[in-house]
Amino acid sequence: MARKAPDTDIDEAELRVSEPKARAAGVPGVVHALQASIDQMGVVRSAQTLLRVNQKDGFDCMGCAWPEGDHRHTAEFCENGAKAVAEEATRRRVGRAFFAEHSIDDLRGHDDYWLGQQGRLTEPMLLEEGATHYAPISWDDAFRLIGDELRAMDDPGQAIFYTSGRTSNEAAFAYQLLVRGLGTNNLPDCSNMCHESSGSALTETLGIGKGTVSLEDLHEASLIIVAGQNPGTNHPRMLSALEKAKRRGATIVAVNPLPEAGLIRFVDPQSPRDLAAGGTKLADRFLQIRLGGDQALFQALGALLLELHDERGGVLDEAFIAAHTSGFDDYAADVRALDWAEVETATGLAEAEIREVGAMVADAPSAIVCWAMGLTQHPYAVATLRDVVNLLLLQGNVGRPGAGVCPVRGHSNVQGDRTMGIFERMPEWFHDAIDREFAFASPRAHGYDTVEAIRAMRDGRARVFLGMGGNFVRATPDTAVTERALANLDLTVQVSTKLNRSHLVTGRRALILPTLGRTERDAQATGDQRVTVEDSMGMVHASRGRLRPASDDLLSEVAIVTRIAEEVFASGHPPLAPGGAPAVDWAAWRGDYAQIRRSISAVVPGFEGLEEAIADGESLRLPNAPRDDRRFATATGRARFTANALTYPEIPSGCLLLQTLRSHDQYNTTIYGKDDRYRGIAGGRRVVMLHPDDIAAAGFADGDLVDLVAVAPDRVERRAPRFRIVSYSTPRGNAAAYYPETNVLVPLDSVADVSNTPASKSVLVRLEAASAE
Ligand SMILES: Nc1nc2c(c(=O)[nH]1)N[C@H]1C(S)=C(S)[C@@H](COP(=O)(O)OP(=O)(O)OC[C@H]3O[C@@H](n4cnc5c(=O)[nH]c(N)nc54)[C@H](O)[C@@H]3O)O[C@H]1N2
Ligand SMILES: Nc1nc2c(c(=O)[nH]1)N[C@H]1C(S)=C(S)[C@@H](COP(=O)(O)OP(=O)(O)OC[C@H]3O[C@@H](n4cnc5c(=O)[nH]c(N)nc54)[C@H](O)[C@@H]3O)O[C@H]1N2
Ligand SMILES: [Mo]
């Protein structure tokens, strides 16, 4: 009998709600970190592992993409970094006995937390067509099977190659080459669901799809706006940087619908003085903005700078605007006509509150805007981010110390993967460079991004899916649609460290290829290998694991990619793509990753000195034209002001706008535990945070159980059953609940303009009395 779906596994009995915390980190943070590590790794392994996080010749923390700083002193780790490490370095194992014991049907009945807790995958497994259980398969047979399925396609465009953001530069570079050698650019990645809106807006306006600040800039900034980000949970080490800036006199403005703990107050667990004194007040101003109101806010701040400049002069950087930008007049005319009543409606903030912050910006000698998913996962995210750029350009806040744009990346190498070519539409120069380096003709037609990939699978236009890390079926929107889409395939392959739902929602046949994690020794023909990663600020450094691998039967990601390449490009097989196969000695790459780095250095500008830098234990700072020389590779050759129509969500009466966000106890789809300590929620994840007046208006009470039902134009029923109402500080009309349980509510077609990013912070729902269990 089919087990009930995990989304109806209600943990209501254990749920406890208390007052949210005002501060982040501190002693409880460290204690929680150590507890998590010791549970999973034991005392000795914990100490050995945590002491190597972010050290020279240690491994790069996979907790987030926040940079390390030069000092790399011992114990530069945070609670959530430690949890990420513990998840990978766990002693628990999922091997053939586990799969023999648990059928697919049985496993589907467990929730994400349980799946993740089972431990590390240890050997390749195959789910045969119609089989009830995964069974062991040899690596050779697995690669042959993949080769056979790929060769059986009518067209290379029928294969889809997803990447999550932990994959090293070396593996990513080899992987994109394999995929382009096959003849497709179908390289969707987690970035499509994450910072794609940032990349779109920044490339268009500044000519680079990345941030323009260094860690030193952040330390030096006079004003830092942190919008749509919860660093206390998701980038805890960023709080140390904010604190440092603060001690040097920076003003910090937090823009968020929720009063997130880390932004309000922060205790540095590494500073005894801090622990005694109770910490630093981080945010000087907290703007509790409505969901999706940020474009109005940034336009209003821009309008205020123009107004103050008219009044007293000296606010705008006129020399910068004249020398380095285009489009100022149109932008200025546009925001001067701003309607304040509309701004108040969109933001839910009072004009006076915004004026106060406007004056702070006007007076600040330098400013940085930091953001994450609260700005990128909305229908008008790209326009919002263009208006963030506009604000900074007005005062020449790009390309000088203490100033710039700071999109804070999520996965620890998501930025590097993109630099390496993991993108469905890389620019022409990149194609030319790989064609030259590898003597083939890479395909130029754009591939599928994440949402397009789901559509292609749904519509029968795809046959093979390979996931290089990640958990595609849980991370993506419209869960029911995505699950059916994957079931249409002939073969699904997941290269993974841990068990997750993407192993259970499969094509006709499915493979699990278990791989090494970053903490583990990667021994190849020429000896132990290092890999490299790029952080959120364009610094590339080496990462080397030292732990004994979770099993002797793991292959590195590089080994897996190169073995697949050997299989599909083997002589005797006709080439799949008209452009021919890239000329590479894949076995040599596998044996010595420095050879991959040599090709990376030849292909990607800025990587010329990579090998020398990492040999000396140094980081390589990638060139960043806007930051380094105020050069902007845009359509106008200048930094571009853009005039953007003001947009913000309209919430029909009886509806709420739901944001789907992370708890303190999860890493994306990996659930560490069921508590959200800073928000005062414990023992359960099926909660919906609502304004008390909205609870009453809907005829419910705090603690009631409700179903969340999506309201979408296509009228398809999307229901997330049985959520406990928690009365919370959030603007009226705005609700919050955790991802991935709520992905079922996000319509596939609800995406951001331009970037095609699922609008997962902007989901229209209504509440219904809970359906029966
Ligand atoms: N421990 C841990 N660390 C992580 C991750 C993890 O899951 N766990 N995930 C990693 C990844 S991949 C990423 S992308 C990052 C994500 O880092 P975040 O972006 O911080 O993650 P979210 O939980 O999605 O939080 C979104 C924040 O934006 C706010 N917000 C939502 N909508 C709006 C809006 O319309 N306007 C404004 N101003 N604010 C809004 C929310 O209230 C919340 O504070 O973290 C990375 N680091
Ligand atoms: N509703 C909603 N949906 C969202 C978001 C949201 O805020 N709301 N956020 C989006 C964002 S920002 C992101 S980045 C995506 C995340 O999407 P993904 O990156 O696809 O998801 P993760 O949960 O990070 O992937 C976890 C899995 O990666 C595997 N893994 C871990 N380490 C390694 C490794 O070193 N190598 C390999 N090969 N595998 C490894 C493990 O098997 C683990 O189960 O989700 C997106 N989806
Ligand atoms: Mo992300």
Asked if residue 79 has pLDDT above 90, the reply is: no
Mean pLDDT of 420-430: 98
Mean pLDDT of the chain: 92
Asked if residue 265 has pLDDT above 90, the reply is: no
Atom of ligand 2 nearest to the CA of 746: 1
Q: What is the pLDDT of residues 28-37, one digit of tens each?
A: 555 566 666 6
Q: What is the pLDDT of residues 619-629, one digit of tens each?
A: 999 999 999 99
pLDDT score for 20: 75
Contact between 340 and 300 under an 8 Å Cβ cutoff? The reply is yes
Question: If you average pLDDT over each of 65-69, 344-348, 615-619, which comes out highest?
Answer: 344-348
* Topology classification of domain 93-189+418-617: Rossmann fold (3.40.50)
Q: Is the CB of 689 under 6 A from ligand 1?
A: no
Nearest to 60 by CA among 542, 417, 409, 470: 542
Q: Which of 18-27, 326-335, 549-558 has the lowest mean pLDDT?
A: 18-27
CA distance 360 to 250: 11
Which residues touch 120 (CB under 8 Å, ≥6 apart)?
88, 90, 92, 93, 94, 497, 498, 514, 517, 550, 551
Asked if residue 5 has pLDDT above 90, the reply is: no
Best of 21, 193, 370, 661 for a ligand 1 pocket test (most atoms within 8 Å of beta carbon): 661
Q: Which residue has the higher pLDDT, 475 or 280?
A: 475
Angle at 665 between CA 662 and CA 667, to 5 degrees: 60
pLDDT score for 8: 42
At 600, the pLDDT band (50, 70, 90 cuts) reads very high
Q: What is the pLDDT of residues 146-188, one digit of tens each?
A: 999 999 999 999 999 999 999 999 999 999 999 999 999 999 9
Q: Which residue has the higher pLDDT, 723 or 576?
A: 723
Q: Which residue has the higher pLDDT, 591 or 772?
A: 591
Q: Whose CA is nearest to atom 2 of ligand 1?
A: 234
At 773, the pLDDT band (50, 70, 90 cuts) reads confident
Q: What is the pLDDT of residues 443-458, one digit of tens each?
A: 999 999 999 999 999 9
Q: Is the CB of 500 under 6 A from ligand 2?
A: yes
Buried b / exposed e over 259-286, threshold 16 CB at 10 Å, is bbbbbbbbbbbeeeebbeeebbebbeeb
Q: What is the pTM of this model?
A: 0.94
Asked if residue 269 has pLDDT above 80, the reply is: no
CATH 2.40.40.20 fits 653-769, yes or no: yes
Atom of ligand 1 nearest to the CA of 372: 19
CATH architecture classification, 196-408: 3-Layer(aba) Sandwich (3.40)
User: H or E element: which one contains 178?
Assistant: helix 169-182
- Ligand 2 centre to CA of 409 (Å) is 13
Q: What is the pLDDT of residues 218-232, one digit of tens each?
A: 999 999 999 999 999
At 3, the pLDDT band (50, 70, 90 cuts) reads very low
pLDDT score for 727: 97
What are the residue ranges spanned by the domains of the chain? 16-88, 93-189+418-617, 196-408, 653-769
pLDDT score for 1: 36
Tokens at residue 270, please? 């590494």
CA distance 734 to 655: 9
